Structure 1
Amino acid sequence: MCGIVGYVGERAALPLLMEGLRRVEYRGYDSAGVAVAHEGRLAVHKRKGKVRELDAALPAAGLPGTTGIAHTRWATHGEPSDANAHPHTDAQGRIAVVHNGIIENAAELRARLAADGVAFRSETDTEVLAHLIAARPENSLLDAVRAALRQVKGAYGLAVIDAARPEAIVAARNGGPVVIGVGDEEMFVASDASALMGHAKTVAHLDDGEIAEVRADGFSVLTLEGTETAKATQALEGEAAGFDKGDYAHFMRKEIAEQPDAVRRTLMGRLDARFSTAHLGGIELAAREMLDIRRVKILGCGSAGYAGVLGAHLIETLARIPAHAEPASEFRYRNPVIEQDTLYVAVSQSGETFDTLAAIQEVKRKGGRVLGVVNTVGSTIARECGRGVYLHAGPEVAVVSTKTWTCTAVAFALLALQLGRVRDLSAAQGARLLAGLSALPDQIAGIVAREAELAPLTARLVRSEHAYFIGRAAGYAVAMEGALKLKEVSYLHAEAYAASELKHGPLALIAPETPTVVVLPDDELLAKNLSTIAEVRTRQGPVLAITHPGVKVDGVEAAFAVPRSEPELAPILMNVPLQLLAYQVAQGLGRDIDQPRNLAKSVTVE
């Protein structure tokens, strides 16, 4: 959610910090701030609103200093305001702190500090840290931060600077991601490696309970107890170009257009024509181990969870293994039964989703095995799982997920194919699916090129306050994701229902002013779906359809046809026009498309 950027080196810190803040804007935030140390003093500027508001408030001449930290905040303690924005400082203005997470015992610490005469200037839990650190000015900054954190309960990823000792940044992690970037005689700290693109050559990820002292010429890592930790670095993957909109008005539209290439990367090296199967080397399961799997449980949140619903359907269809998806956010609260012959699959674009990470840890604590399906290389979930599938979709900057959802669905198709071929899926069936997967990139490109054909559907939704999405079987997963996209980015109220459930209650909501978007593939369930449409039309409900060429439906107000594909892969294609539809509706309503209100790309708190 919140974003951290830090720099120590020989260059002016401010331009690098501001560039980093723009890179982490996609995470979602409501205020931004920066602190730079120079000649024993801190220059702190922070503003409610977007990074552009902060930029406008900075001195025209910039800020001198080669050490600094910056932050984008997503409010937890205290409403969005200039005062509550990070960085937070101690009473003397010597210590500056930026922090992601929640200090659970902040009220207790705050009361104790107030009794000692400390005057607080914000409502945040983070300000407590600045005063705790400043209480030990005789200690090294590293030791002062360690002492402060030993008094703290909760989750954090943080960076701290001391104006009197600007040669170092101290960073620490317990639940919130922290990445150290290594450059040429300069170092970086960030909550997300995307902030370091184009500057750092390699990165190191802190683990929970670790604290680092970061200097221009290197870094050292300790546990909070003081034990030194050997920390390996790895190459920073990705390109800064992924954070440039190019000729597109919004990152969301750019990322929809990037899906053909993203899917090609997800497929690259994973299609085995010789044996008519897929090969996902990262899952590290031998054929005999795959045969021992009796159940698959998929865990994810939001769009990742809906991709998991489709994944479960694909695994059951192709591998004939019972499979189920459920929200990771609820999984650990019901004391789940962990089975040795169940394969657990955790899904996350960022690889930092707190709820999903907690679910993984619950599974591992009880002896289960977990695979990760993750887009961000080196992320916490990828490292916690230890094995799995990288999507290689490239950076996804818009808060709403598009290309990552599509690539996740493709990854599940590959996993289902590999599991199926170990079991009873024939070579002929495998070859059929390989051909279908290979055709997806060009088919997606064709859908995106026909965006203008969605105009009648867009016009109907723009003048509506509510919309329903329905689908059967795998089409229900597409309906859920389509409804989520529309409400996330356009703020229209949208609900998804299994088409078969419409008559069990939701039919009471059908009215002439509320359109129903139907996921309508030309498959064995077509007749049943047409009957459901008739039920909607009988009650004067407008119907919009995402379907296949040649499907005739009486009374449909507007329709968009996707290319025919292998039936199992049709849901992947049917989701693409729903992404474009949500984008167009949001455009028509003048929404903040890349950063919808109240949402964050990477949810790192409960």
Structure 2
Amino acid sequence: MCGIVAYIGEKNAYDILLEGLERLEYRGYDSAGLALLDKSENIIKTVRSVGKLKNLREKTSSTDFNSKAGIGHTRWATHGKPTSYNAHPHVSKGLALVHNGIIENYLQLKKELTDKGYVFQSETDSEVIAHLIHSYLNGDILEAVRKATNKLNGAFSVAVISEDNPDRIIAARNDSPLVLGAGDGENFAASDIPAVLSHTRNFIFMEDGDIAVLRKDSIEIYDKNHKKVERDKKYIDWNPVMAEKAGFRHFMQKEIYEQPRAVTDTLRGKYSLEESLIRLPELDEISGALKDASRIHIVACGTSWHAGLVGKFLLEKFAGVPVEVDIASEYRYRDTILDENVIFLAITQSGETADTLAAMRMAKKKGCSTLAICNVLGSSVSREADGVIYTHAGPEIGVASTKAFTTQITCLYMLGIYLGQIRNTMNEKSRSEYIHSLLGVPEQMEYVLNKDSEIENIAKDFKDYKDFLFLGRHLNYPVALEGALKLKEISYIHAEGYPAGEMKHGPIALIDENMPVFTLATKSRVYDKIVSNIEEVKARDGIVIATVTENDTHLADKCDAVISIPGTSEEVSVFLNTVVTQFFAYHCARLLGNDVDQPRNLAKSVTVE
């Protein structure tokens, strides 16, 4: 997750690029840099720094840039540590490049380029693109970018400047966002609209495979077949706050919609379809401990604890290893039996959750190998764990977690298959099926996102109820817990999540016409059981809202409201049911007039006990 800004025109490029990067700070980053084409000397001047943009400003405060064209970047590390030499832009003999995304075949390309004499200064996959473009450069930068991008596997959006072609910037995208801003005597490229919205309201949205040539007075676009095409300009009528939210009403709504992208980014570079393998080189140092582990203890708080409960089902099924899931604040004070054969797995969005961090330190003292699933590079948990799997969710501004939860489950799914590989509990056929199933999640989530208005209408009918019961079974039992938590957090409606089979052991006493029951009833191995639970509710004049599998007319007739989702595996249904419950909570809260992004009494990161 990072930001790109590019400018060509008659104004001071330095000021425009820094301003644009500042407007993208909400996306999160650990380093930043600029490459500016000096007009008088016709050379590219590059400056990079670690940390916040103020460090970049301080580093360049005494420099007089005479530039009308340049590219800027904020980086969140994926390949290589957050250092100045890993920061963008990357340079190759007279050209400079910034890149968002992940190049899956970068190691192969790096070897080919090294054999040709190219010397690499960074640990990144992005530098490969710069050298690859230079290797094809023979006067025409457009043709060089075209040939280079044809060899890339993975996701990328890039902006390139060249001393040999000082009158243009080349921009290209494939499966990674990039927009073009059309101004008057100036043009822009950026990874997100807010970066340049103060300079233009006219935007062109590039499509996958597009390559654009930006000059100060023109924009040319070529499609994936190298044919010149016209893309419509769209006028963006956003105020500054709306711009940061990309036009959504709230950050939470935006982040719900970002989940397909977040899951895709978390998966990038982590799998091989040819070999039916999950690749987690970040766990190499503890792979032996993972292979021989007798137990795994998952420890987390709140939403991350719910993700851990889903992970228990996945890890036990895929890897055949016993898994315990604990709330961190309780785990610390138990007489926990730990030794070197136990893997301690911490799940935390921020990496600074005090209880989780303390629990991990305790486990380390007792000889456990420690593993973390985290969203923040350089956080305390990520620094202290023996191995880290990062969720590439990007910054989550809304206090109520959405995309952090689904990317945590993505990591747990991958970890389960990885453990199945090294522990020989999954054969190649099973791995292939589950990897393909996981890769289909983003598209199926997009389908559920289209249910937004439908779920909003259901929320209108139920927002004024004071109590809710959320029911789920097997893998969807933790999703019921998470759905109830979301409704409590932002709508302030009392809600409880339960495993549906436990309803008759207490909650059934509460069932009446005043307490809706939200049931996750998609097709699964326990489908008949959940149908019986619904019938128990209806027999007591209860109200049932249910998620069901498409074309399930049997349940549709039994429920007061249904939201249908695509038929899929039970493992994938977790992602889809989650989106439904997030939308329901969001719309209830919004319709009640609550502060959705900053609910009362809650903090994004709980850094005290």
TM-score tier after normalising by the smaller chain length: 0.5 to 0.7
Q: 1:64-103 deviations in whole A, cap 9, x for unaligned? A: xxxxxxxxxxxxxxxxxxxxxxxxxxxxxxxxxxxxxxxx
Q: Match of 1:406?
A: 406
What SS class does the counterpart of residue 496 from structure 1 fall into? strand
For residues 250 and 316 of structure 1, the distance between their equivalents in structure 2, rounded to whole angstroms, comes to 37
For residues 348 and 180 of structure 1, the distance between their equivalents in structure 2, rounded to whole angstroms, comes to 26
2:511/2:537 contact within 8 Å kept: yes
Kindly indicate whether residue 452 of structure 2 is the aligned counterpart of residue 451 of structure 1: yes
2:545/2:560 contact within 8 Å kept: yes
Q: Match of 1:218?
A: none
2:276/2:431 contact within 8 Å kept: yes
What SS class does the counterpart of residue 586 from structure 2 fall into? helix
Q: Match of 2:606?
A: 603
Q: Match of 1:40?
A: none
Q: Match of 1:326?
A: 326
Displacement of 1:337 in angstroms is 1.6
Displacement of 1:24 in angstroms is 12
For residues 179 and 344 of structure 1, the distance between their equivalents in structure 2, rounded to whole angstroms, comes to 33
TM-score by length of 2: 0.61
Q: Match of 2:505?
A: 504
Displacement of 1:296 in angstroms is 1.2
Kindly indicate whether residue 55 of structure 2 is the aligned counterpart of residue 182 of structure 1: yes
Kindly indicate whether residue 592 of structure 2 is the aligned counterpart of residue 589 of structure 1: yes
CA 1:200–1:464: 2 relative to 1, 3 Å: closer
What SS class does the counterpart of residue 284 from structure 1 fall into? helix
Kindly indicate whether residue 565 of structure 2 is the aligned counterpart of residue 562 of structure 1: yes
Q: Match of 1:297?
A: 297
Q: Match of 2:344?
A: 344
1:456/1:558 contact within 8 Å kept: no
1:307/1:405 contact within 8 Å kept: yes
Q: 1:337-379 deviations in whole A, cap 9, x for unaligned? A: 2122121110111111111111111111111111110011111
Q: What RMSD over aligned residues (CA atoms) do the two structures have, in Å? A: 3.4
For residues 590 and 361 of structure 2, the distance between their equivalents in structure 1, rounded to whole angstroms, comes to 40
Q: Give 2:361's aligned amino acid.
A: Q
Aligned pairs for 1:216-227 (under 5 A) are: none
Displacement of 1:182 in angstroms is 3.1
Displacement of 1:249 in angstroms is 0.9
Q: Match of 1:489?
A: 490
CA 1:184–1:262: 2 relative to 1, 3 Å: same
Q: 1:506-564 deviations in whole A, cap 9, x for unaligned? A: 11111101100011121121111111111111111100101211222142001111212
Q: Match of 2:366?
A: 366
Q: Give 1:555's aligned amino acid.
A: K
CA 1:285–1:559: 2 relative to 1, 3 Å: farther
Q: 1:454-489 deviations in whole A, cap 9, x for unaligned? A: 134312320200100011111111000101111111
Q: Match of 1:263?
A: 263
2:524/2:569 contact within 8 Å kept: no
Q: Match of 1:531?
A: 532
Q: Match of 2:440?
A: 439
What SS class does the counterpart of residue 182 from structure 1 fall into? helix
What SS class does the counterpart of residue 325 from structure 2 fall into? strand
* Unaligned 5+ runs, structure 1: 1-15, 26-177, 188-196, 205-233
Aligned pairs for 1:574-585 (under 5 A) are: 574-585=577-588
Q: Give 1:404's aligned amino acid.
A: A
For residues 545 and 75 of structure 2, the distance between their equivalents in structure 1, rounded to whole angstroms, comes to 48
Aligned pairs for 1:386-425 (under 5 A) are: 386-422=386-422, 423-425=424-426
For residues 75 and 269 of structure 2, the distance between their equivalents in structure 1, rounded to whole angstroms, comes to 30
For residues 513 and 251 of structure 1, the distance between their equivalents in structure 2, rounded to whole angstroms, comes to 31
Q: Give 1:539's aligned amino acid.
A: R
1:290/1:419 contact within 8 Å kept: yes
* Unaligned 5+ runs, structure 2: 1-18, 29-50, 61-72, 84-122, 127-176, 178-190, 196-242
Displacement of 1:289 in angstroms is 3.8
2:340/2:366 contact within 8 Å kept: no
What SS class does the counterpart of residue 527 from structure 1 fall into? helix
Q: Give 1:299's aligned amino acid.
A: V
CA 1:594–1:351: 2 relative to 1, 3 Å: same
Q: Give 2:601's aligned amino acid.
A: N
The number of aligned residues is 405
Instruction: Using the TM superposition, name which of 500-509 and 554-563 deviates more.
Output: 554-563
Percent identical among aligned pairs is 35
1:183/1:199 contact within 8 Å kept: no
Displacement of 1:329 in angstroms is 1.5
CA 1:352–1:561: 2 relative to 1, 3 Å: same
Displacement of 1:286 in angstroms is 6.5
